[in-house]
Homo-oligomer: A and B are copies of this chain.
Amino acid sequence: MANTLIFKDIDFSDQVSADFLVDVSKLMKSQELPNKHILHSEGTICNYFFIIHTGLARAYYFKDGKDITAHFAIENSTITAIDSFIQRKKSRYNIELLEDTTLSYIVYDDLKKLLDDKPHYEKYARIFLENIYIDIAERIEDLLFHSAKERYAKLIQKFPSLLQRVNLGHIASYIGITQETLSRIRSEK
């Protein structure tokens, strides 16, 4: 659930940042898509970086036949098959919508061209990745040191609406437990 606010750590008071925002906006295209729409399928290279305006998406993959949620993207969050988008390899992720959704997207080649043309914009890619790093490091610590119960509590504290909006099974796999265990946790107190 990284990157809740896309450009949250960018100081847009300077000219370069303002220019960057304008140039990126020009590349972005908007779309409305229905629930269950597949944004990306595993085994293909992901060429899109999505920004969710309203609605909900999730990235998931299959591990020993089980459907595992790797990432949720709610309003004002971003999502892509990050393994593929970064490494330009076939992705192991699928991305699907869990609600009717309005989103924007940027095409990889357009973004790459922009960064090649204006290398000083690389700074924003770096900042974006730094933010991903911070989120993901927190998640590792969560997995190492918090019980299933604590991980669940933290998740709904951070994203209270999630519980009403997605299946238990998706939440359970996201925090690394079975659906049955999550059901029991929930029924306590």
Q: Chain A: residues with CB nearer than 8 A to chain B?
A: 63-64, 68, 82-83, 86-87, 115, 119-120, 122-123, 125-126, 129-130, 132-134, 136-137, 139-140, 143-145, 176
CA of A143 to CA of B176, assembled, Å: 9
Chain B residues within an 8 Å CB radius of A132: 129, 133
A145 (CB) vs chain B CBs: closest residue: B63
Identify 9 residue pairs between A and B in the complex whose beta-carbon atoms are under 8 Å apart, listed by A's number: A82-B133, A86-B133, A119-B123, A122-B123, A129-B132, A132-B133, A136-B137, A144-B176, A145-B176
Chain B residues within an 8 Å CB radius of A122: 119-120, 122-123, 125-126
- A78: shortest Cβ distance to chain B, in Å? 14
Partner pick for A126 among B64, B129, B140, CB 8 A cutoff: B129
Known: A125-B126, A136-B137, A145-B176. 11 other contacts (CB 8 A): A68-B144, A82-B133, A82-B137, A87-B130, A122-B122, A126-B126, A132-B133, A139-B140, A140-B140, A140-B143, A143-B144
Is there an interface contact between A120 and B123, defined as CB atoms closer than 8 Å? no
- A56: shortest Cβ distance to chain B, in Å? 21
